[in-house]
Amino acid sequence: MKYIEHSNNKPTVFSVFVLFTLILSSDIVLASEKKSIHFTTSNSIEPYFFVNKKSGLQYELLDAALSASNLQLGGITFATNLRALRLVKTKKIDCIINSPSNSDGLFLTQSLIEYQNSVFFLTKNKLKIDTIQDLKNYSLVGFQNANHYLGAEFSELSITHKSYHEIASQKNQILMLFSERIQAIILEQRIFDYYRNQIDSRIKSPFEVTKVKLFDPAPRYIACHDPHTAMLVNEAISQLKQTNLYQDILLKAERSYSGVSELTK
């Protein structure tokens, strides 16, 4: 029969010191390891994200929020909207940025930022646009799938509108407006500012632009397949919004691409 041998020897001061050191060292390693969270979003939404570099307004906000909460932005996979959603639902990616608010099976955070879709037209043309129904009187170009994002009233109007169509290139929307091939366009206001600043040298006449806010601000949510990850991201966003850094990032980004003449209606 085998017995477990018990020792009556008391631990030495040295052994206690070694044990304490090992515990302290392991705590420091664990504290220094940041949880890495991987995201996915649509292929190209400049100036919010840039595919070929780690920058863009939303990228900087998200990176700042995670860093301040001892989290790490593990990377962003750019994909079509449907594929991005599928990557998260199959748990290949942690979270999707700019998720639909009704993403079944996923856990939403609060909005990181709001998009403001607006109608733009050349001021000299003096278009009378005060309601969504007024849009049916003018030739109009919207961004891709705009009729799915701008509410029921606009969706119905887009079906019956005789001179409405959608294009994928948001830069081309602005070129069409300034070349007077179209009377009005619908675009997110920061995206409009960014691309107008890019093509300013190609515009022969620096027309003033009127912007009409017919649509409500659109919150941009993040959705994760894991509730704990969603909670961590949500808390990180909350903390960032309570600091001056949040507004500083917004103002810095907008100053970099909005130096154009514009009237706001």
Separation between Cα atoms, residue 78 and residue 203, nearest integer Å: 31
CB-based contacts of 107: which residues, under 8 Å, 6+ apart? 223, 224, 225, 226, 227, 229, 230, 231
Lowest mean per-residue pLDDT among 39-53, 58-72, 211-225 = 39-53
| Mean pLDDT within 4-29 | 40
What's the CA gap between 196 and 122, in Å, rounded? 13
Q: Do domains 34-114+219-264 and 117-212 have the same CATH topology?
A: yes
175 and 238 in contact (C-beta within 8 Å)? no
SS3 at position 142: strand
| Cis peptide, bond prior to residue 206, ω within 30 of zero | no
Name residue, tokens 């090992």: 22
Separate counts of helices (H) and strands (E) for the chain? 9, 12
CATH superfamily of 34-114+219-264: Periplasmic binding protein-like II (3.40.190.10)
| pTM of the predicted model as reported, rounded to 2 decimal places | 0.77
Domain ranges, ordered by start, for the chain = 34-114+219-264, 117-212
CATH fold of 117-212 reads D-Maltodextrin-Binding Protein; domain 2 (3.40.190)
For 181-238, write each residue's pLDDT tens digit: 999 999 999 999 999 988 877 776 668 999 999 999 999 999 999 999 999 999 999 9
